[in-house]
């Protein structure tokens, strides 16, 4: 029998009384209005316009779901879902067209004020992400997140958000998935801004993201928290690393892989020691030396910076979709640097795992439980909000595979709560609407609502999964279909 075959009994426990259900989007993926009413250009505007061939269907987010113009309709749909919260991101360049605080776009302030007020008047809590990959293009000219001055620029931006929206926003997320920004944007170059500087610029980016997050956490804690009474955290994405075999080498490689792809971003904030994981520091340093560097390519935090970053959270934001098998690799031949070579791992999938529309993504619900257990074991009893989890398919209204995914993954979440006492406090389904899925364009869909991108009105139609998710919220347990 394949040891990774999915044998799954649905957990019939109820979700805790204080458990929150929501759904999520991101500004570039849904808003459209890319150059409307004072909005500045961001790196995804530039990337999709300059390199359309890098997008599966050569599309872009110029109009996307047109949520900028369909705000009232979208909030009606959210209310119809009966969600407790809606997680959305603010477009930095819609607030600050040049990226810097000297020029504030009044229309951007108006738009997000209207969205926040409308959500609250409909009984929906806004959960606001400050940055979801769309750096103002003007800042990218200066190096974006490879420039240490981004810490100051991000603080300026955050202060404007707190000043204008903080009286009503009680959940703030500084960054969504820094791994994608850093490893894919500056490392392998598959996402905007598209630089291929793996093993160097990606580490610089991580370093500056962590310092930016800490700066904004302390700004909020010292200046705003007493009066605004909100919570602030960061969201990171975890792909569970399962050893391909039970050999000592593969078991160690799986843990090392998780620390390189997840702990690198979470240990400095959540681990009681702070700083990057020790094994990551050792492996990058050793590989750097072999490559002829006189220093580690992974920047070092000063003792003061370690203390400053450690503990900068009110909750743990987690995005999770899938699992990979990991096996150990002997040192790669010397050549151009990369994180994969630093980590000395290779990833794969079991052929028994069900596929999705996305090549990177298989259905492995038990990996969700393992990720949640790992977080508790490594970081203690932190309140965890699952800020993204969902399923990709092609254009489908009777999306039974998505229903099955939600049923199995939410059951795995309940296993973590009831069997392992993990403090999971909320769950956001990704995504509210079919939207622009980055390099996949509009080919692969994640939405609970179908969006017709051929229709200028961007008509929204509920999918079967929308009704299933509504029933979960209503009954506060997984219903059998």
Q: What amino acid positions are annotated as catalytic residues?
A: 177, 388
With a CB cutoff of 8 Å and minimum separation 6, the contacts of 232 are 172, 173, 174, 216, 217, 220, 221, 313, 314
Asked whether the beta carbons of 194 and 185 are under 8 A apart, the reply is yes
Q: Are 199 and 341 in contact (CB under 8 A)?
A: yes
Is the distance from CB of 30 to CB of 446 less than 8 angstroms?
A: no
In 198-341, at which residue ranges do the beta strands (DSSP E only) sit? 231-237, 240-243, 316-319, 323-328
Q: In sequence order, which ranges of 380-463 are alpha helices (DSSP H)? A: 400-420
The dihedral over CA atoms of 56, 58, 61, 62, expressed in degrees to the nearest 10, equals -170
- Whether 463 and 431 have beta carbons less than 8 Å apart is answered as no
- Token duo for residue 46: 């530039």
Is residue 147 packed enough to be buried (19+ CB in 10 Å), middle (13-18) or exposed (0-12)?
middle
| Gyration radius of the chain's alpha carbons | 21
Q: Please name every residue paired with 131 in a beta bridge, in sequence order, or none if there are none.
A: 175
């Amino acid at each position: 029998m394949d040891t990774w075959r999915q044998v799954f009994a649905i957990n019939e426990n109820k979700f805790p009384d204080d458990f929150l259900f929501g759904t999520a989007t991101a500004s570039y993926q849904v808003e459209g209005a890319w150059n409307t009413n004072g909005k500045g250009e961001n790196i995804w505007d530039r990337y999709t316009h300059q390199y359309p061939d890098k997008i599966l269907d050569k599309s872009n987010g110029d109009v996307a779901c047109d949520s900028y113009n369909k705000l009232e309709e979208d909030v009606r749909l959210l209310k119809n879902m009966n969600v407790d919260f809606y997680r959305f991101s603010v477009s930095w360049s819609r607030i600050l067209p040049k990226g810097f605080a000297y020029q504030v776009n009044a229309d951007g302030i108006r738009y997000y004020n209207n969205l926040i007020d409308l959500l609250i008047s409909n009984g929906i809590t806004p959960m606001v992400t400050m940055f979801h990959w769309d750096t103002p293009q003007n800042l990218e000219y200066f190096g974006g997140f490879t420039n240490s001055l981004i810490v100051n620029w991000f603080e300026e931006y955050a202060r404007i958000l707190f000043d204008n929206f903080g009286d009503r926003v009680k959940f703030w997320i500084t960054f969504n998935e820094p791994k994608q920004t850093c490893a894919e944007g500056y490392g392998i170059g598959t996402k905007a801004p598209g630089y291929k500087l793996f093993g160097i610029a990606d580490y610089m980016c991580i370093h500056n993201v962590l310092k930016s997050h800490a700066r904004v956490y302390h700004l909020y804690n010292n200046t705003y928290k007493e009066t605004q009474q909100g919570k602030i955290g960061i969201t990171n994405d975890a792909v569970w690393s399962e050893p391909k075999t039970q050999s000592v080498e593969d078991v160690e490689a799986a843990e090392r892989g998780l620390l390189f792809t997840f702990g690198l971003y979470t240990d400095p904030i959540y681990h009681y020691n702070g700083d990057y994981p020790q094994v990551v520091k050792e492996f990058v340093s050793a590989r750097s030396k072999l490559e002829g560097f006189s220093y580690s390519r992974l920047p070092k935090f000063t003792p003061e910076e370690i203390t400053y970053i450690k503990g900068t959270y009110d909750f743990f934001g987690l995005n999770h979709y899938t699992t990979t098998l990991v096996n150990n690799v002997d040192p790669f031949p010397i050549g151009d640097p990369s994180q994969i070579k630093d980590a000395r791992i290779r990833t794969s999938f079991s052929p028994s795992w069900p596929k999705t529309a996305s090549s990177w993504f298989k259905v492995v619900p038990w990996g969700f439980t393992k990720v949640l257990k790992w977080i508790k074991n490594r970081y203690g009893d932190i309140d965890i909000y699952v800020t993204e989890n969902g399923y990709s398919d092609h254009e489908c209204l009777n999306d039974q595979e998505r229903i099955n995914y939600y049923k199995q993954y939410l059951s795995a979440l309940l296993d973590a709560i009831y069997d392992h006492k993990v403090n999971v406090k909320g769950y956001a389904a990704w995504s509210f609407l079919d939207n622009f899925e980055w390099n996949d364009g509009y080919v692969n869909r994640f939405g609970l609502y179908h969006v017709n991108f051929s229709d200028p009105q961007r008509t929204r139609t509920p999918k079967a999964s929308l009704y299933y998710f509504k029933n979960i919220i209503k009954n506060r347990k997984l219903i059998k279909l």
